[in-house]
């Protein structure tokens, strides 16, 4: 009897040891760090607050390029834009490296179910809602493309300037919103949550990599009215426009080439301050909307007793301006555009941590590989964050690189260390920026022209140039290998 009990215990322990960890991979589109886990008390995100208590909030996580397509391709491939060859919304994921192994493919190779619902790779929003967009079929075992009234009834969306309705199209870069009296699952993101829950239920007895990609808070800002009612327009603040313009007097022209000049104020000519405030309120409403959907998905994990064997990742593709510096949208090398939310909850790691070390979205792929117990592919260019998940105070010397690509002759590289952000435009020929984040977290004063910072700039410039030269060289190797 003792022998049988011991044998049963040994089998049980062995089975548990071999049990694979699941991955729940949740993304939001164009979400900045105006959420509870990052200290914003105005925006209501109780479920993201709940997730933050379960894991590690990476307070300084940076995208590799603040544009949807390149950022998402980099995250999913584990490669930087320069090596991958994805710089625009239309560049193909496998154009330069046809045989790359994406994150979902890696888990498929380990006998995982790899399923997607919603936006993970780039989709034109809202135009491609309900389609596969620029998705990569090889990444997934199964994929779903729900469509809600934010797409099917887009003629009801209010467009600024002027509050125009009754039109379709041209909403991908817009100041537009709509607050219908509606149910959550009448909207695309509500349907994303519905399907994610079904995917969890259908695969609860096998290892899974389930990706739920929300389209909000990408413009147009559309959510059920009850989420708009959480906010009062009187509480919405915007920086004074004259003050905002003054902040940009000492930055190179390329730093604001997408939003400057004739496009003042707030990107669209003729847009009033009150209209801009309404759009900011609408953005916050859509954030609260997706937070509620995330809560439903977390509830499903709990209901099926999967919390202890599921690694949860929440991320956004880049940050977003909401009137700061008079700017709107993304595609800047400034902190507010390059920095994005990243929260990872792993059952084997500490809970309720805040990590202040600079990390990159590129690091997600190797982190998930290590956290699930597999060997990290040598091709991946990021670093595993597992040491920081175990202890957020672990010594971490890595800097984060973000690049801007408007054209071959309009490029910038920005490096973020614990204290500094340094940016070079066209290798410094078209200007430089230096910001001291210990004393100037809003990047209001460009120190690049001050002689006293020459030594610091020389050191950071060398790091940026080493990065540029290394990845240009690697890109040439990839091209040569492809020819062979």
The residues annotated with a catalytic role in the active site are: 68, 122
Judged by DSSP in three states, 147 sits in coil
Q: From 58, 27, 53, 22, select the one nearest 388 (Cα to Cα).
A: 58
Nearest-angstrom CA–CA distance, 218 and 230? 19
Question: What is the strand order of the sheet 410-416 is part of?
Answer: 400-407, 410-416, 420-425, 432-436
**φ, ψ dihedrals at 352, nearest 5°:** 65, 30
Closest C-alpha among 62, 96, 68 to residue 82: 96
d(CA 386, CA 313): 13
Of 391, 392, 342, 394, nearest to 368 by C-alpha is: 342
Helix (H) or strand (E) holding 406: strand 400-407
- Number of H-type helices and E-type strands within the chain: 14, 19
Nearest to 243 by CA among 273, 280, 284, 282: 273
Q: Degrees (nearest 5) of the Cα angle 335, 340, 346?
A: 140
- Residue 19 CA to residue 372 CA, distance in Å, equals 10
438 alpha-carbon distance from chain centroid:
24
In degrees and rounded to multiples of 5, residue 163 shows phi and psi of 65, 40
């Amino acid at each position: 009897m003792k022998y049988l009990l011991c044998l049963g215990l040994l089998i049980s322990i062995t089975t548990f040891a071999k049990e694979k960890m699941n991955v729940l991979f949740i993304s939001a589109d164009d979400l900045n760090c105006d959420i509870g886990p990052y200290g914003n008390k105005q925006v209501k995100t109780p479920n993201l607050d709940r997730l933050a208590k379960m894991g590690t909030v990476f307070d300084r996580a940076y995208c590799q390029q603040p544009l949807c397509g390149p950022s998402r391709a980099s995250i999913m491939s584990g490669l930087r834009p320069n090596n991958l060859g994805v710089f625009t919304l239309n560049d193909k994921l496998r154009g330069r490296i046809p045989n790359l192994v994406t994150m979902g493919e890696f888990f498929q190779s380990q006998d995982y179910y790899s399923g997607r619902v919603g936006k993970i790779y780039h989709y034109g929003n809202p135009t491609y809602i309900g389609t596969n967009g620029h998705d990569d079929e090889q990444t997934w075992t199964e994929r779903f493309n729900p469509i809600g009234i934010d797409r099917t009834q887009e003629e009801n969306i209010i467009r600024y300037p002027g509050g125009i309705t009754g039109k379709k199209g041209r909403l991908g870069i817009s100041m537009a919103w709509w607050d219908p009296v509606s149910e959550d699952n009448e909207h695309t993101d509500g349907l994303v949550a519905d399907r994610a829950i079904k995917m969890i239920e259908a695969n609860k007895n096998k290892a899974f990599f389930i990706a739920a990609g929300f389209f909000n808070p990408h413009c147009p800002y559309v959510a059920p009215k009850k989420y708009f009612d959480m906010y009062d327009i009187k509480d919405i603040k915007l920086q004074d426009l004259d003050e905002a313009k003054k902040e940009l007097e000492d930055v190179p022209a390329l730093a604001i080439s997408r939003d400057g000049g004739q496009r003042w104020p707030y990107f669209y000519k003729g847009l009033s301050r009150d209209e801009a405030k309404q759009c900011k309120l609408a953005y916050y409403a859509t954030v609260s909307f997706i937070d509620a959907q995330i809560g439903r998905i977390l509830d499903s994990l709990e209901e099926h007793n999967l919390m202890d064997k599921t690694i949860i990742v929440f991320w956004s593709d880049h940050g977003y301006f909401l009137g700061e510096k008079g700017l709107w949208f993304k595609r800047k090398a400034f902190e507010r555009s390059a920095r994005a939310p990243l929260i990872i909850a792993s059952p084997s790691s500490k809970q309720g941590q805040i990590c202040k070390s600079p990390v990159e979205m590129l690091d997600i792929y190797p982190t998930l590989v290590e956290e699930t117990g597999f060997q990290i592919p040598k091709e991946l260019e990021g670093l595993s964050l597992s040491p920081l998940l175990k202890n957020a105070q672990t010594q971490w010397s890595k800097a984060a690189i973000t690049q801007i690509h408007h054209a071959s002759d309009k490029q910038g590289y920005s490096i973020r260390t614990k204290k500094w952000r340094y940016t070079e435009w066209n290798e410094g020929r078209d200007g430089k920026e230096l910001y001291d984040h210990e004393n100037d977290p809003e990047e209001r004063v460009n120190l690049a022209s001050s002689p006293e910072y020459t030594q610091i700039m020389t050191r950071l410039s060398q790091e940026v140039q080493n990065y540029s030269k290394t990845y240009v060289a690697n890109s040439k190797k990839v091209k040569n290998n492809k020819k062979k």
